Amino acid sequence: MKAKLLFLLILFLSFSTLFSDVINYDKVIRNLRGVKSYDKGEFENSEENFKNNAIKYPEDPRLHFNQANAQVKNGMLEEAEQNYKLALNNDQFKDRSKALQNLGNTKFLQKDYKNAIKNYRDALIEDPGNIDARYNYELAAKMLQRQQEQKQQQKQNKDDNDDKDEEKEKQEQQQQQQDKQDDEQKEKQQKQDEKKQDEQQKSQEQKLKEQKKEDAEKTLKALLQKEKEEMEKEKQKMNVDRTKTGKYW
């Protein structure tokens, strides 16, 4: 928290350094309005004044620098970056270390610590006595290290999760294969049971058929035997009747 407060303080000091000594009445008035709005915290009005000035006098790098500072305050980091570069690309611009430092700040705010470090380094090359740039350079280096460690940890966590997912998927595939084998075994057993039941049913039907046939034959045999016995009785009766009458015809 302390480091963050210090960094914000340095940003404030850097961005509050505006150029007010602009030669040209029209430019001076509009530039002073921008500076006044900036100092009052009215950054939208400030940026608008600096923007109109920079559009009307694009050859003045100090106006682009002022506009970029106001844009940073408005959260317009990409636009601010372009204006800092416009100022730096102009050979007439002298305060290059300050612009490079502020350009580094825009990258820092975007968490692009690698390019922030590069800009702070360039600022120190321009002015080795730029204490703010040196502090911000060290802070950005620490933030970059922390960011890389977090990315490495996230990658490790992702790899671990991927390994877990792969192992889980492998286990699920094995379980699916086992379930498939179990289902095939159950289906095979079911077919065997059905075949066995079928065979048993056919055997029972065959036995029943044979039993019915046997019963029918027994019944027929019994009927024939009974009929034979009846005929035998009838014959004996007829013989008795002839004996009594003495007639044999």
Q: Can you give the three-state secondary structure of 125-181, one letter per residue?
A: HHCCCCHHHHHHHHHHHHHHHHHHHHHHHHHHHHHHHHHHHHHHHHHHHHHHHHHHH
Domain count for the chain, please give it.
2
Q: Is 104 within the bounds of a domain? A: yes
Domain termination residue (choose one: 130, 145, 160): 145
Q: Is 101 within the bounds of a domain? A: yes
Instruction: Please state, as a whole number, how many other Cβ atoms lie within 10 Å of the Cβ of residue 198.
Output: 10
Q: Does one domain contain both 102 and 213?
A: no
pLDDT of residue 236: 78
**Residue 54 to residue 57: CA distance in whole angstroms:** 5
Q: Which domain holds residue 212?
A: 196-241
How would you classify residue 41: left for phi > 0, otherwise alpha for psi between -120 and 50, otherwise beta?
Answer: left
Q: Is 153 within the bounds of a domain? A: no
pLDDT of residue 82: 96
pLDDT of residue 15: 47
Q: Does one domain contain both 123 and 212?
A: no
pLDDT by residue for the chain (249 residues), tens only, comes to: 445 544 444 454 454 455 555 457 888 888 899 999 999 999 999 999 999 989 999 999 999 999 999 999 999 999 999 999 999 999 989 999 999 999 999 999 999 999 999 999 999 999 999 999 999 999 999 999 999 999 999 988 888 787 777 878 888 888 888 888 888 888 888 888 888 887 888 888 888 788 888 787 788 788 778 878 888 787 777 776 666 655 444
Q: Is 20 within the bounds of a domain? A: yes
pLDDT of residue 5: 45
pLDDT of residue 165: 78
Q: Does one domain contain both 118 and 24?
A: yes
**Dihedral (Cα; 10, 13, 14, 19), 10-degree rounding:** 180
CATH code (residue 96): 1.25.40.10
pLDDT of residue 121: 97
